[in-house]
Amino acid sequence: MSTLRQALYGIALLGALVLVIWGQQQRINTAQNQADLAKSAAKTAREDADRNLATANTLTATLKQERENQSALRAQQDQLREALAKRARSIEELKRENDELRDWAAQPLPDVARRLRDRPALTGAAAYRDWLSGRGAVPTTSDQPAR
């Protein structure tokens, strides 16, 4: 009986060993699956990071270009202001030099020209269209009376 008992103990020990090995294999498989998922997540995260970096680089380049354009526009605006000031000075000098021009500039605008400059406060395209088609509209050249 002792050999039978030893055989049964051996079989039980062998079964326990098989169960331990099988449990370890399951743990290894689970760990491998988790590692694969982690690699996949890391790959996805890296791709997202690369896309975000490309987007950031594009936005940086766009911002730089916009700043350069704004700088160029400011320089052009400064040049236009200088030219406008120069023209205003020239007009004032001409007014001081030329009596005819000074008298002409001092006269009030004719009613027709003044009406061109008088406009009501308009808000929106519809109001502007209504004003143009209303009584304040300037007649076309074909509608003007003969002189």
State the chain's mean pLDDT as an integer.
87
Q: What is the pLDDT of residues 84-131, one digit of tens each?
A: 999 999 988 888 888 887 788 888 888 887 777 777 777 888 887 887
Instruction: Give me the residue label for tokens 């995260």.
Output: 45
Owning domain of residue 7? 1-30
In a domain, 129, yes or no: no
Say yes or no to pLDDT of 73 above 80.
yes
Residue 137's region, left for phi above 0, alpha for psi from -120 to 50, else beta, is beta
Q: Is 8 part of any domain? A: yes
> Would the pLDDT of 136 be above 60?
no
**pLDDT reported for residue 140:** 63
13: in domain:
yes
More confident residue, 16 or 109: 16
Does 108 reside within a domain?
no
Our count of domains for the chain comes to 1
With cut-offs at 50, 70 and 90, classify the pLDDT of residue 146.
low
3-state SS of 51-83 is HHHHHHHHHHHHHHHHHHHHHHHHHHHHHHHHH
> Which residue, chain included where needed, has tokens 């395209």?
125
Whether 44 is in a domain gets the answer: no
Q: Is the pLDDT of residue 133 over 80?
A: no
**Mean pLDDT score, 33-50:** 95
Query: Is 14 part of any domain?
Result: yes
- The secondary structure of the chain in percent helix, strand, coil, rounded to multiples of 5, reads 85, 0, 15
SS3 41: helix
Q: Which residues of 76-111 are buried (b: 16+ CB within 10 A; e: fewer)?
A: eeeeeeeeeeeeeeeeeeeeeeeeeeeeeeeeeeee
